[in-house]
Amino acid sequence: MFKKKLELIFLTMVIVAIAVLSINYYNSYSFKHNPLPKPYLDRIAAKEKDVLTHMQKNFGYQVRFPLIITDKIPGRLYGLTSYENRRITIYLNKKVMQESMDYMCDSVIPHEYAHALLFYLHKNSNEKSGHSKLWQQTCQALGGKDCLQYVNQQEIIMSKLPFGVK
C-alpha cells in the first residue's frame, strides 16, 4: 500500500514538473516570436519619459534618441548605444527583457541614455571604454539606479527571490 502511494506521489510530481516546463517553454517561445507585449512597451515609454524629465531638470533641455528593441544583439548584452555617421541610436536586447524588465528600466535605459547624451555633447572619452566618471555622473543625473559598466547578474537573480533579499 505504501509503495503504491509513493509511486502515485512520484508520478504526480513528474506530471506537474512536465506541465511547468511546458508552460515555461511556451511562454519563452511566445515572447521570442511575437512583438513585445504592450505592458513592456508602456514601461519602456514611461522610463524614457522619466529619463527625459531628469535630463530637462539637470541639463536644461531634452534630447530624445531613437530607442530600438531588437533580438539581434549577441549574447547577454542588455543594451548598447551606437554613434555612426553622426547618428545616435540606443538598442535594447529583447532576448534578455523577459529575464528582468525591472533591471532594464531602472538601470539599462538610463545607462544607454547617458552614453547617447555624451555622444550628443561630444564629451566621450576613451577612459574605461566610455564608462568614465563623467558618464557615471550623467547616468545618475538621468535617474539611473546603479550606474555600473556591466550588468549586475546577482542583483537580477536576488530580485527574483520570493522573500525579497537585497
- Cell numbers given for 163: 522573500
Q: Which pLDDT score is estimated for 28?
A: 81
- Cell numbers given for 6: 509513493
Q: Which pLDDT score is estimated for 158?
A: 45
Q: Which whole-number Å values give the CA distances from 72 to 22, 66, 77, 148, in the listed order?
A: 26, 16, 10, 23
Region 44-50 average pLDDT = 97
Q: Which whole-number Å values give the CA distances from 31 to 24, 98, 117, in the listed order?
A: 11, 8, 31
- The pLDDT of residue 160 is above 50: no
Q: Which pLDDT score is estimated for 152?
A: 55
- Cell numbers given for 72: 539581434
Other beta carbons within 10 Å of 10: 10
Region 4-26 average pLDDT = 93
Best mean pLDDT range from 1-5, 56-60, 128-132, 151-155: 56-60
Q: Which pLDDT score is estimated for 60?
A: 95
For the stretch 52-103, pLDDT in tens is 999 999 999 999 999 999 988 887 789 999 988 889 999 999 988 888 899 9
For the stretch 20-41, pLDDT in tens is 999 988 888 888 888 899 999 9
Q: Which pLDDT score is estimated for 67?
A: 96
Strands 87-93 and 67-70: parallel
CATH classification code of 36-159: 3.30.2010
Give residue limits of the domains in the chain. 1-34, 36-159
For the stretch 109-127, pLDDT in tens is 999 999 999 999 988 755 5
Residues 6 or more apart from 128 whose CB is under 8 A from it?
A: 149
